[in-house]
């Protein structure tokens, strides 16, 4: 972190490689297919403002997520203004983040893509909370700062999101063990718990 702030390019690359996948996946839920564009806007700003950032790498992840989120909201506002006026950002966001119909089929493999589709199907606040925590690796407090909420609210949203995901996984016929061959063992194992 410090190396990068001093201008070490290799350190910056390392940071990029560490953060970018999560950032991109988070943005995908916010802005869909424009995630790449918004991510590169975010990185421009991160590169520019890196020197003024104060904190450790945990803090940096939160900082980067905040920048990305702002860029995403800007992007949505811009797009909204171009399309229709006076539609709250939230509505558009929800609309855009609606899950793809293809989500179900690919789930068996539980690819990153399929998992993202499922999460994108959650209500936006839950999806954001889950992604910031799991993908960006933020704790509840930092995620709360990114979202402008209290840590408790983020925690609740994330928990609801997880519960909902678990329900969906079950509905889609994936058992406790998560594999088609999962048998009675896995199930009885879970009921014991």
Partner 1 sequence: MSTHRPRRIDRGEAERMLRGAPVNDGVGADPLADLLAAVAAPARGGELDGEEAAVAAFREVRLTHVTQPRRKPMINLMFAKLLTVKVAAMAAGATAVGGVAVAAGTGVLPIAGGGGSVAVSPTATPSAEVSIPAIPVPSAGASVSVSLLDLCHTYTAAAATDARTTLDSPNMRALVTAAGSADKVDAFCAKALQAETGTAATPGTTAGASGSAGPGGAGVGAQVPGAGAGASAGPDGAGPGVRVAPSAGVGASAGPGGAGVGAQVPGAGVGASVGQGGAGLGASAAPSVPR
Could you tell me if 18 and 11 are in contact, meaning their C-beta atoms sit under 8 angstroms apart?
no
> What residues from 61 to 80 belong to the interface with partner 1 (CB under 8 A)?
66-67, 70-71, 74-75, 77-78
Instruction: Please report whether residue 59 would count as binding partner 1 according to CB under 8 A.
Output: no
Residue from 46, 97, 146, 147 in contact with partner 1 (CB under 8 A): 46
Between the alpha carbon of residue 175 and those of residues 107, 120, 127, the distances in Å are 13, 22, 23
User: 3-state DSSP call for residue 132?
Assistant: helix
In the complex, minimum distance from the CB of residue 153 to partner 1, in angstroms, rounded to a whole number: 14
Which residue, 42 or 96, has its beta carbon nearer to partner 1?
42
Instruction: Please report whether residue 60 would count as binding partner 1 according to CB under 8 A.
Output: no
Rounded distance between C-alpha atoms, residue 118 and residue 164, angstroms: 10
In the complex, minimum distance from the CB of residue 144 to partner 1, in angstroms, rounded to a whole number: 13
Quote the tokens at residue 169: 């996984």
Q: What DSSP string runs through 46-71?
A: HHHHGGG--S-HHHHHHHHHHHHHHH
Which residue, 67 or 96, has its beta carbon nearer to partner 1?
67
Which residue, 105 or 173, has its beta carbon nearer to partner 1?
173
Binding mask 3-42 for partner 1 (x = CB under 8 A): -x--x-x--xx--xx--xxx-xx----------x--xxx-
- Chain position carrying tokens 């058992």: 175
């Amino acid at each position: 972190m410090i190396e990068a702030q001093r201008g070490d390019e290799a350190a910056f690359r390392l940071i990029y490689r560490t953060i970018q996948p999560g950032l991109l996946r988070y943005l995908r839920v916010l802005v869909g297919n424009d995630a790449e564009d918004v991510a590169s806007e975010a990185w421009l700003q991160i590169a520019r403002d890196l020197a003024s950032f104060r904190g450790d790498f945990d803090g940096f992840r939160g900082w980067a997520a905040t920048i990305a989120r702002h860029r995403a909201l800007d992007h949505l506002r811009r797009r909204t203004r171009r399309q229709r006026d006076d539609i709250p950002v939230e509505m558009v966001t929800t609309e855009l983040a609606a899950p793809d119909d293809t989500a179900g089929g690919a789930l068996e493999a539980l690819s990153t893509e399929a998992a993202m589709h499922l999460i994108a199907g959650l209500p936006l606040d839950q999806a954001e909370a889950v992604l910031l925590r799991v993908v960006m690796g933020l704790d509840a407090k930092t995620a709360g700062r990114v979202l402008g909420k209290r840590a408790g609210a983020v925690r609740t949203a994330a928990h609801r999101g997880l519960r909902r995901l678990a329900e969906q996984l079950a509905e889609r016929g994936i058992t406790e063990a998560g594999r088609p061959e999962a048998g009675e063992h896995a199930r009885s194992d879970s009921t014991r718990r």
